Structure 1
Amino acid sequence: MIRKLLSYLIPITIYKNKSSWSKSIEVTWANGELVLDSENTNYSYGSLQRILRLGLKKIGFRQIKAMNKILVLGVAGGSVIKTLVNEVYYKGAITGIEIDPEIIKVANSYFNLSQIPNLSIVITDAFEFVLQANEKYDLIIVDIFQDTNMPGFLFENFFTEKLCSLLQNKGHILFNTMVLNKKDNLRNEKYCNEFYQPNFRLKTIPRVEIHNELILIERIN
């Protein structure tokens, strides 16, 4: 409790480690809440939770609550999963894909992710999982970062086409991107301008928390 109160004055790091995928994994008390950070950016909770919560609100909490299956690509500390469970009151199946087992250990120890009964975690590469997947989902959340870098495959047409093929009718993709410079901005512009999938529509929510842009894709029939 003392750490939590002091964190309103100064961030207090209570755990720091690294893994084969992350140079730094830190759990910190900041402004009265626990957050998970990498070396240069927020990985879960804090600003990232606010960003993805906004995306979920744009889709609609009531609509999400009625869904049956949700896929989360990039779990980290699980903040978007906590939003789904604690704020949306989502009771359907959640499948979380995370490549870094050390991150999941931290998520279980500090954020009680393992106590969510409708959550299944798969430790694997999201690219490989998506390419081999056949199951349909009502919502796919894409939140994959290696510190401030985003893997290039996320913006490839064939990956987007495969993601879209995994959506149920009226399903949604919520894609969180980081825009730090002109190159990132051009990358997102190219992605959106070249997007073409029959029976799908795309819209963006730019400059969320300054450096993030949300891309929303909806299957309309």
Structure 2
Amino acid sequence: MIKKIFSYLIPIKIYETKSVLSKSIEVTWANGELVLDSQNANYSYGSLQRILRLGLKNIGYKKILDMNHILVLGVAGGSVIKTLVEEIKFKGKITGVEIDAEIIKIANAYFKLDQIKNLEIVIDDAFEFVLKTKAKYDLIIIDIFLDTTMPNFLFETFFINRVCSLLKSRGVILFNTMILNETQNIRNKKYIAEFYNKQFKIKTIPRIEIHNELILIEKLER
């Protein structure tokens, strides 16, 4: 409790480790809440939770409550899952895919992720999982970073088409992206252009927390 109180004055790191994939994973008290960070970015809770909560609000909590199955690609500490379960009161199935098993251990220990009964965690590469899964989803949340870097495959046509094929009719993709320079800005514009003249409705929520741009994609009925 003392650390929580003092965290309003200065962040207090309580745990730090490394994994095969991450140079630094830190659990810190900041402004009265526990957050999960990499060396240069917020991975869960804190600003990231605010970003993805805004995306969910744009989809509509009522619409989410009517969904049956949500896929989260990139779990980290599980802040978006906590928003779904604790704030929105989503009761359907959530499948979370995370490549870094060490991060899931931390999420269970510090953020009680393993206590969420309607959550299934799969330790796998998101690209591989998307190729293998036979399920269809009402909502796919893509939140994949290695520190401040986003894997190139997320923006490739093959992956885009495969993810879209996993959506049910009227299903939605919520894609969290980071833009740090003009090259990445152009990358996002090309990504959005992939959906023109297709059966999708797309919109962006730009520059959240300075560098983040959310992309919302809805699959229209045919």
TM range (shorter): over 0.9
Calculate the TM-score normalised by the size of structure 1.
Answer: 0.98
1:166-205 matches, within 5 Å, as 166-196=166-196, 198-205=198-205
| C-alpha distance after superposition, 1:167-207 (max 9, x if no partner) | 11110000000001111111111111233463211111110
Q: Which residue of 1 aligns with 2:22?
A: 22
Cα distance in 2 for partners of 1:10, 1:209 equals 20
Residue identity matched to 2:52: L
CA distance in 2, matches of 1:61, 1:28: 29
Runs of 4+ in 1 over 3 A off after TM superposition: none
Code of the aligned partner of 1:105: K
Higher alpha-carbon deviation: 191-200 or 209-218: 191-200
Give the structure 2 partner of residue 55 of structure 1.
55
Aligned pairs (5 A) from 1:80-95: 80-95=80-95
RMSD: 0.8
Query: In the aligned structure 2, how far is the partner of 1:216 from the partner of 1:157?
Result: 17
Match of 1:133? 133
- The residue that corresponds to 2:75 in the other structure is 75
Most deviating of 132-141 and 196-205 = 196-205
Equivalent-residue separation in structure 2 for 1:21 and 1:80 (angstroms): 21
> C-alpha separation between the residues in 1 aligned to 2:196 and 2:133?
21
Counterpart in 1 of 2:156? Answer: 156
Q: Which residue of 2 aligns with 1:123?
A: 123
**2:134 corresponds to which letter in structure 1?**
N
Cα distance in structure 1, aligned partners of 2:194 and 2:86? 36
1:101 is aligned to 101
Residue 13 of structure 2 aligns with an amino acid whose one-letter code is: T
Using the size of structure 2 for normalisation, the TM-score is: 0.98
Deviation at 1:57, TM superposition (A): 0.2
Aligned 8 A contact 1:98 1:126 in 2 = yes
2:19 partner SS: coil
Distance in 1, Cα, partners of 2:7 & 2:122: 33
Which amino acid in 1 is paired with 2:18? K
Is the deviation greater in 194-203 or in 173-182? 194-203
SS at match of 2:204: strand
Matched with 1:210 is 210
Could you say what secondary structure the match of 2:72 adopts? Answer: strand
Q: Deviations over 1:136-162 (max 9, x none)?
A: 000000000000000000001111111
Gaps of 5+ in 1: none
- 1:98 shift after superposition: 0.2
Q: Which runs of 5+ in 2 are unaligned?
A: none
**Equivalent pairs: percent with the same residue?**
71
2: CA distance, partners of 1:185 / 1:15: 34
| Letter paired with 1:182 | E
